[in-house]
């Protein structure tokens, strides 16, 4: 067994939007004679970062389907980081995968209950209709937005 600690706080091993995660990466692919400076610029580390990011996203997607209540609590605590991931990620496919993790409040749901964008879109009757959104810190403030912008109250946002 070649168990060697190469770096204690590897900040480049995960994208910044996943900075709330902590753990150990055990990989036999990292050569032992690699210096820390070379490790930071290594193509292998970039590949490892991409693989870890995809696995974490896949795990969170699975959790959101298997245990929605538990995922909702998780999203309340860490959803801001995921929104940051959409803004800071360069690859479109990563952005789309992160978007599947996001949760939003909807005027069609009870106050405080959240839905995914896919679930929201599946509830619309017309597949060609556009998705309406209103930005407000809480749904309680939507009433003021609706009246100010003269948005019909039966419109689902």
Domains of the chain: 1-102 (3.30.230.80), 106-157 (no CATH)
**Distance (Å, rounded) from C-alpha 14 to C-alpha 17?**
8
Q: What are phi and psi of 35, to 5 degrees?
A: -75, 165
pLDDT tens digits, one per residue of 26-50 = 777 666 665 655 555 677 778 888 9
Residue 115 confidence (pLDDT) = 83
With contact defined as beta carbons under 8 Å apart, do 131 and 120 qualify?
yes
Rounded CA separation 70/92 (Å):
28
Q: What is the pTM of this model?
A: 0.74
* pLDDT value, residue 31: 62
Q: How far apart are CA 116 and CA 121, in angstroms?
A: 9
Rg, the chain, Cα only: 20
Task: Kindly report, residue by residue over 100-139, the tens digit of the pLDDT.
Answer: 999 987 777 777 788 888 887 777 666 666 666 666 665 5
């Amino acid at each position: 067994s070649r168990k060697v600690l190469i770096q204690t706080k590897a900040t480049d091993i995960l994208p910044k939007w996943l900075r709330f995660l902590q753990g150990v990466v055990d990989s036999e692919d990292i050569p032992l004679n690699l210096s820390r400076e070379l490790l930071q610029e290594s193509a292998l580390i970039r590949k490892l970062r991409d693989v870890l990011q995809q696995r974490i996203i896949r795990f969170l997607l699975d959790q959101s389907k298997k245990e929605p209540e538990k995922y909702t609590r998780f999203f309340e605590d860490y959803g801001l980081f995921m929104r940051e991931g959409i803004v800071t990620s360069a690859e479109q496919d990563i952005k789309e995968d992160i978007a599947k993790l996001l949760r939003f409040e909807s005027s069609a749901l009870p106050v405080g209950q959240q839905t995914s964008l896919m679930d929201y879109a599946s509830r619309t009757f017309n597949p060609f209709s556009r998705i309406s959104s209103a930005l407000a810190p809480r749904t309680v403030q939507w009433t003021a937005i609706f009246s100010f912008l003269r948005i019909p109250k039966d419109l689902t946002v």
